[in-house]
Amino acid sequence: MATLAPLGVLDLSFVTQTLLGMLGNYMNTAAPVPMAIIPSGSMPDAVRHESGTQLTFSLFHVAEDKFQRNSPLLNSRAQTLPFQPMALDLYYLLTAFSQKNWQEEQQAMTLAMQFFYQTPIITMAVTLPGIPSAVNEEFTLTMEIETSDEMARLWQAITFPFRLSVVYKVSVVLLTPLATPTLAPLVKRLQFAADPTLFPYSQSGQVIGAVWTASFASPLSSVASPQPVNIDYSPAVVPYGQRFFLYGAYLNLPTSSNVFLLMPDGVTEYNVSGWMTTEVDPVNPHFQTSSRITLDLPASLGALPVDAPPPGIYQLLAGSPSPGTNRTNAVPFSVAAWINTSAVPLPNPPILLPDATGTYTLKGEGFVLGQTEILLDTIALSNNQIPPLLDGQFAVVPTQQATFRPPTGIPTGRYTVRVRVNGVESPPSWWINV
């Protein structure tokens, strides 16, 4: 059996049966002058032989609603057949008949028209196969103005003499479509190339950029519904202890076998070839190929080249090991403070909790005294190294810890904890709830 979409009705008899039940309940119990009549959904000629006064509410015509046939539903675009529901207008003939009691005929018609007049909007719960909960459907019921000629032609089709009658329209009734096929998974990673071309690379080696991929959990993530996020930084913004890549061409030659870090002064350089490392991935067994060098930024801030420099903006280049010999061009590369989120591993939401005093603590590497900034979204906190720490202030314990307190009076909600050192902002790490 095909899967159904959770909207509409499975067949039109659901609508007729609902209207008859509501009409019958009104006439027998709720009307100002109740009448013991059970309305029928049959055509008038089918009940003429029965005794007493008969009231029929018969579906005699169905038309597609011209205003809703291609309308988007449920905040989505119109679907192709058969997934777009059929939007219908239903036309019913209401009439009463009594063999000899004309007064009861008119009383029955009066009560029925009275009920429909005060019930212009009908709401019904529809149960569909395979749908766990009932579907609430709503439609309007209005009296249609018909000429005497139109009514006469209708009664001629019934082949019974004309009786007091009126036409009602029920709209819009949706016939349940098939469920829309499952959509393709959301795009997790997208790469763009603007006007790609082949570069005339230097035969002695050339670098084109450094790349680092940040991986963190969305604050909406949970164990039941993990939401990991991956962002490629290029130029690379690398926290301490992280692996990154230097890309280029002809990087496995004697003229490009070493990697150098160029300091912000543009003159001083350090040979950081000790950062080069062997790939763990068996598909990429070599740390250095003609187009890529794999590097691990040291986990500690300290003296170059064994440790990493303070957070800041630097440049990377390749070249020969001897000073003053061949060097490639340089590409930008930034070192960022590392924020430790291991206390809440993926896929748990990275929500940082305060201690009993309302103070939050950040742990990591690269918190430089006098060069560190902490922001909550766009709200900058002020530095206070002299206890006690007040609301809206932060303090640094070089180089592996920082504490802060949110300002008072900020709106309740979730805030991103942003850390900048020497103007370089660390990748997303923690959020707090205020």
Residue boundaries of the structural domains of the chain: 13-175, 206-336, 360-433
Q: Can you list the positions of beta strands (E) in 115-227?
A: 121-126, 135-144, 165-175, 206-217
Average pLDDT over every residue of 149-163: 77
CATH of domain 13-175: 3.30.2000
Helix (H, G, I), strand (E, B) or coil at 133: coil
Is pLDDT above 60 for 207? yes
Lookup: tokens for 65: 């609603």
Q: Provide the percentage of residues in the chain whose pLDDT is more than 70.
A: 89
The answer to whether the beta carbons of residues 296 and 254 sit under 8 Å apart is: no
pLDDT value of position 151? 78
* Residues 273-306 pLDDT 10s: 999 987 666 666 556 788 899 999 999 999 999 9
Is pLDDT above 80 for 310? yes
Chain mean pLDDT for the chain: 87
End-to-end CA distance of the chain: 50
pLDDT value of position 6? 66
Helix (H, G, I), strand (E, B) or coil at 25: helix
* Residues 252-277 pLDDT 10s: 888 998 999 999 999 999 999 999 98
Adjacent-strand bridge partners of 301: 308
Is pLDDT above 50 for 1? no
Domain 206-336 indexed as CATH 2.60.40: yes
Phi, psi (deg, nearest 5) at residue 256 = -145, 30
Average pLDDT over every residue of 385-394: 95
Give the model's confidence band at 79: pLDDT under 50 very low, under 70 low, under 90 confident, else very high: low
Other beta carbons less than 10 A from residue 341's beta carbon: 19
Is pLDDT above 60 for 75? no
Adjacent-strand bridge partners of 140: 121, 171
pLDDT value of position 157? 76
The answer to whether the beta carbons of residues 57 and 22 sit under 8 Å apart is: no
* Residues 317-353 pLDDT 10s: 999 988 778 999 999 999 999 999 999 988 889 999 9
* Whole-number Å distance between alpha carbons of 37 and 34: 9
Q: Please name which of 417, 433, 429 lies closest in space to residue 350, comparing C-alpha atoms.
A: 429
Q: Cis peptide leading into 34, omega within 30 of 0? A: no
This prediction's pTM: 0.57
Q: Can you list the positions of beta strands (E) in 65-197?
A: 86-97, 121-126, 135-144, 165-175
pLDDT value of position 137? 86
Same fold, 13-175 and 206-336: no
pLDDT value of position 84? 73
